[in-house]
């Protein structure tokens, strides 16, 4: 038959050499992938260092989201459960009750519940919190800093250049690994956050 080439038979040695070359190429590629994976920097997200935060109020006004992605967080193990709470009551409040004129929070985001005399529990209603930081400042001034601000990552869009971080006078905004996105206080800070990967 003219014009048609007959397939050449591949001998066993050639077949084995080709197979060895393919296996070597796969091994080198796999090793390169492992090395590249180890050298890869972790994904970073924005967070507030509670030890640097000055409660300036810019978290409420500078965030690209409205309301802000920053919310007040409560470290219950640090809280004194005080009847007169610096984060709940207006400074100089004559009565330590739940009347609006005696509350510090402008959006009524802190709910106070009686536990037993003289103890009260304070809970943050996140949907109402506008990140003004007034409660955090009051708690730091007249309490034990159990209230503090954190970027909530279920809300934050993680801008490359955070609008709040740019304007933060205390430079309290830092980049942290996405698998450990919160900087917590008290025993909260000692426990591994839910969903965090083992290191």
**Average pLDDT in the chain:** 83
Q: Tell me, what's the pLDDT at 193? A: 43
* 98-135 as b/e: b if 16+ CB within 10 A: beeeebbbebebbebeeeeeeebebebeeebbbbbbbb
Cross-strand pairs, 120: 114
Percent of the chain with pLDDT over 70: 74
Q: Tell me, what's the pLDDT at 142? A: 87
Model confidence at 191, pLDDT cuts 50, 70, 90, reads low
Distance between CA 198 and CA 166 in Å, rounded? 32
Model confidence at 195, pLDDT cuts 50, 70, 90, reads very low
Distance between CA 189 and CA 187 in Å, rounded? 5
Q: Tell me, what's the pLDDT at 199? A: 28
For the four alpha carbons of 186, 190, 194 and 197, in that order, the dihedral sign comes to positive
Q: Phi, psi at residue 149, to the nearest 5°? A: -100, 140
Dump pLDDT digits (tens) for 130-160.
Answer: 999 999 999 999 888 999 999 999 999 999 8
* Domains in the chain: boundaries: 44-189
From residue 170, give the alpha-carbon distance in Å to each of 47, 70, 132.
13, 16, 15
**pTM (whole model) above 0.75:** no
Determine the average pLDDT of the residues in 90-107: 89
Determine the average pLDDT of the residues in 89-93: 87
What is the residue-wise DSSP string for 52-76?
T----SHHHHH-SSSS-SEEEEE-T
């Amino acid at each position: 038959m003219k014009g048609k080439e007959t397939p050449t038979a591949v001998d066993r040695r050639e077949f084995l050499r080709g197979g060895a070359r393919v296996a070597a190429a796969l091994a080198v590629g796999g090793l390169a992938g492992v090395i590249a994976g180890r050298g890869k920097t972790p994904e970073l997200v924005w967070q507030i260092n509670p030890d640097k935060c000055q409660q300036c109020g810019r978290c409420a006004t500078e965030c690209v989201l409205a309301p802000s992605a920053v919310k007040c967080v409560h470290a219950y193990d640090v809280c004194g459960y005080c009847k007169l709470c610096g984060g709940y009551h207006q400074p100089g409040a004559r009565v330590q009750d739940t009347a609006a004129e005696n509350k510090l929070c402008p959006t009524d985001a802190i709910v106070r519940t009686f536990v037993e005399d003289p103890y009260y529990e304070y809970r943050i209603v996140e949907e109402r919190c506008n990140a003004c930081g007034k409660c955090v400042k009051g708690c730091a001034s007249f309490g034990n800093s159990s209230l503090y601000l954190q970027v909530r990552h279920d809300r934050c869009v993680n801008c490359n250049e955070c609008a709040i971080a740019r304007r933060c006078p205390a430079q309290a905004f830092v980049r942290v690994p996405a698998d450990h996105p919160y900087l917590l206080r008290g025993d909260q800070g000692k426990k591994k956050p839910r969903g965090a990967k083992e290191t």
